[in-house]
Amino acid sequence: MTTDPGGILRLEISSHVSPVFEGRVFGEVGAYESIDGTIHGALDPAHPRNATIVNLDKAPRNGDGHVEYRSDFSLLKPLDTARGNGWLMYDVVNRGNKLALTRLNKGAEGNRTVTAAHAGDGFLMRRGFSVIWSGWQTGVPMGGDRLEATLPIATGANGPITAMSREEFIAEGFGPGDAFLREISEKAFVGTLTYPAAGMDPVKATLTVREREQDPRTTPPDLTWRYLDATHVEITRAAGFDRGAIYEFVYPAQDPAVMGIGFAAIRDLVAFLRHDDTSKNPLRGAIRHTLGFGISQSGRVLRDMAHLGYNQDLNENPVFDAMFPIVSGSRRTDIDRAFAQPGRYSRQHEDHSFLDDQFPFTYPTLTDPISGKTDGISRAAVAAGVHPKIMHLDADSDIWAARASLVGTDTAGNDTAMPNDVRIFIASSTQHAVHKPGAAHLGQLPGNPLGYRAWMRALTVALTEWVEFGTPPPASRFPSRAAGDLVSLAEAAEMFPRIPGVRFPDVLNELRLRDHSVEPPKEGAAYPVWVQSTDPDGNSRGGLRHPILAAPLGTHTGWSVRIPGYAEGDLFTVQGSYIPFAATEAERAAAGDPRPSLEARYPSHEVWAAKVATAAEHLVRERLLLPEDAEEFIAAAKTSRDAMEIL
């Protein structure tokens, strides 16, 4: 058997567009090209860096004793890499989707990033980044040119590996889970199973239903189901339950993919592009520094890479010099276990008790009196001497839906200090993903238009300057218990203004210690979870405050309460709400709104625009807002007082 440790075997190129973006040129960096194809990789199960991958030892092996896998990849690079900035950004795909160009560059959505519209304002290209994407998980939704990995199936010595697995279906017609649901009538729907059933004996599976997440699981007589095949079940809705009801299916599953390979696949690809000096590396000699960038699910992947030891490559070099996990909250991922479901993520109503949210929650090493464990997200990387510079950015809705307060507190609920190479931020009064007018929405109030793109852009620049030049970054801007910015749900309800027609939540995504050796899991002691306090207008205190919050036009929240007919009263996924102020004092008085009207706040449009400009200029001085973004906000404020147009 060879002593070759494995890694990237080759890149198989299927598409090479040069130049890309319709020939657009980005200043001194010049034009870009795109290279797309398939990564062929192999892992040695005996290598210490691979030894913790669950079931890797049970996967098929090649003649060298290695486990092979394939992964889609897509690379954008300057035509002349010598004119680049020496940075490789690895944008962790979210369910197979590229996000960096849309979120940072203001580019068009899509995974075939070849048109000028995809480049947006050229934020990354103007600065000379090379950007790489690759598939790391199986089972992503079909279509849309998503990037996926082809991972081997683990088998036992005597046949297929089996275990009880759990699915949750909410057949309401909205959300990412819809890709795996098909409504066949008002009375029934079909759900797709993550793993095939180990036999289709209905006696071995159970189905329950409940209206709101906290309700007890029930099995009413008219709740029926049947296997259509090994990966699909048809479920008949139970009477008396609305379209937001949670249908939970527990069944014996088989054939787990070795999903933990995804971490190693990212590790080995980045190491290859950074260090390989052969002609098979399209970035040979061009990369000095690496940045892991990830939004939502992708940010959680980065946190787990640091936590589980994957920021050290097979030659013990650091993989990422910098990591930027965004809107991950305190969650991690459900990847490296036998029957993993990395597409799921815990929220108050949806997927509440899936395995992505147990200790550790924050970066420093802490002892948790609830689980009895001592750990931290940064612990393994620090011990190995490969800890990256980290900036962690959450939205206000991650406080409500992703227990983001646990990033800034210990498990007794007290403020905790970050390591010197970690900065944490909350984009106050924002929601997880910016609400788009006309998008499907189950909240009782309009969606929140306030976003965090400007924070991402400024912090990306500060993070790379921190690594490359040692420039001290902005200090953390995270709400705290000491400052009164983190409070209990009951305290938050007391301070929020009494706005007619507005229902303040009576729930948040609470967290308990859970025993996942059984399904559904057994719940234990509760962790303290806080939310942000608010000012008299209902906008959040502490954290990063957008220039428009210095001269608000309404109340922006990180929560959205579900409408009647869809589990009324629970939180609607990771969305927020927007409640505009009355235009005049007469309108305010007639509505009984305690918040002063626009008329009372701002004597003229010019006064209001000046307040926005002053706030933006202050943030530029603090290096929390780029001058180009400040100029855009200021120019928009001069011509409009419509929050949707400015944000």
For residue 90, the number of C-alpha atoms closer than 13 Å in the C-beta half-sphere is 33
- Strand order of the sheet with strand 188-192? 181-183, 188-192, 232-236, 224-229
If DSSP codes are grouped into helix, strand and coil, which group holds residue 275?
helix
Structure-block tokens of residue 72: 């889609």
What is the model's pLDDT at position 2? 39
Is 70 exceeded by the pLDDT of residue 575? yes
Q: pLDDT tens digit string along 377-426?
A: 999 999 999 999 999 999 999 999 999 999 999 999 999 999 999 999 99
SS3 at position 8: strand
> Which three-class secondary structure string do you get for 371-439?
CCCEECCCHHHHHHCCCCEEEEEEEHHHHHHCCCHHHHECCCCCECCCCCCEEEEEECCCCCCCCCCCC
Residue 438 — very low, low, confident or very high, per pLDDT cuts 50/70/90?
low
Tens digits of per-residue pLDDT, 216-252?
Answer: 999 999 999 999 999 999 999 999 999 999 999 999 9
Q: Which SS3 state, helix, strand or coil, does residue 366 take? A: strand
pLDDT at 314 over 50: yes
Q: Name the residue among 337, 360, 336, 357 with its Cα closest to residue 348.
A: 357
Tokens 């910015």 correspond to 485
Phi-psi domain of 139 (left: phi exceeds 0; alpha: psi -120 through 50; beta: other)? left
Any idea of the CA torsion for 103, 108, 109, 115, to the nearest 10 degrees?
Answer: -120
CA 249 – CA 197 distance, rounded (Å):
12
Q: Which residues contact 93 (CB under 8 A, 6 or more apart)?
A: 99, 133, 134, 135, 136, 146, 147, 298
Cβ 223 vs Cβ 207: under 8 Å: yes
Cα distance from N-terminal residue to C-terminal residue, the chain: 59
Give the pLDDT confidence of 481-515 residue by residue, as tens digits: 999 999 999 999 999 999 999 999 999 999 999 99
- The better pLDDT of the pair 155, 435 is held by 155
Which residues face 293 on adjacent strands? 91, 324
Name residues whose C-beta falls within 8 Å of residue 584's C-beta, 6 or more positions apart in sequence.
597, 598, 599
Distance CA 404, CA 402 (A): 5
Cβ-count burial of 167 within 10 angstroms (0-12 exposed, 13-18 middle, 19+ buried)? buried
User: In the predicted model, is pLDDT for residue 647 greater than 90?
Assistant: no
Rounded mean pLDDT, 91-95: 97
Cβ-contact 192, 181 below 8 angstroms: yes
CB of 125 closer than 8 Å to CB of 32: yes
Q: Residue 428 has what pLDDT? A: 98
The whole-angstrom separation of Cα 526 and Cα 517 is 18
pLDDT tens digits for range 541-550: 999 999 999 9
- Contact (CB, 8 A) for 266 and 136: yes
pLDDT at 640: 82
Digit-coded pLDDT (tens) for 53-77: 999 999 999 999 999 999 999 999 9
Mean per-residue pLDDT of the chain? 95
Q: DSSP state, 283?
A: T
Judge whether 434 and 449 are in contact, CB under 8 Å.
Answer: yes
For residue 352, which amino acid is it? H
Using pLDDT thresholds of 50, 70 and 90, give the confidence band for residue 524: very high
| Greatest distance between any 2 Cα atoms in the chain | 84
Q: Number of helices and strands (H, E) in the chain? A: 15, 27
> What letter does residue 57 receive in the DSSP assignment?
G
| CA distances, 140 to each of 20, 94, 154, 585 (Å) | 27, 9, 19, 51
Q: Is it the case that residue 290 has pLDDT exceeding 70? A: yes
Q: What is the pLDDT of residue 482?
A: 98
Does residue 339 carry a pLDDT above 60? Answer: yes
The domain ranges of the chain are 1-153+258-287, 162-254
Question: What's the confidence (pLDDT) of residue 552?
Answer: 96
CB 562 within 8 A of CB 570: yes
Residue 487 and residue 492: Cα distance in Å, rounded? 6
The arithmetic mean of pLDDT across residues 107-115, rounded, is 94
Tokens at 60, concatenated? 């098929």
- Mean pLDDT check: name the lowest of 86-100, 181-195, 300-314, 546-560: 181-195
Dihedrals phi, psi of 456, to nearest 5 degrees: -60, -45
Percentage of residues in the chain having pLDDT higher than 90:
93
C-alpha pair distances (Å), 13 with each of 35, 76, 112, 279, 322: 7, 13, 15, 13, 28
CA atoms within 13 A of residue 347's CA, in its CB half-sphere: 29
Q: Are 97 and 87 in contact, with CB atoms under 8 Å apart?
A: no
Displacement of CA 153 from its chain's centroid (Å)? 26
Does residue 1 register a pLDDT over 70?
no
CA torsion 453→459→465→466, rounded to 10°?
-160
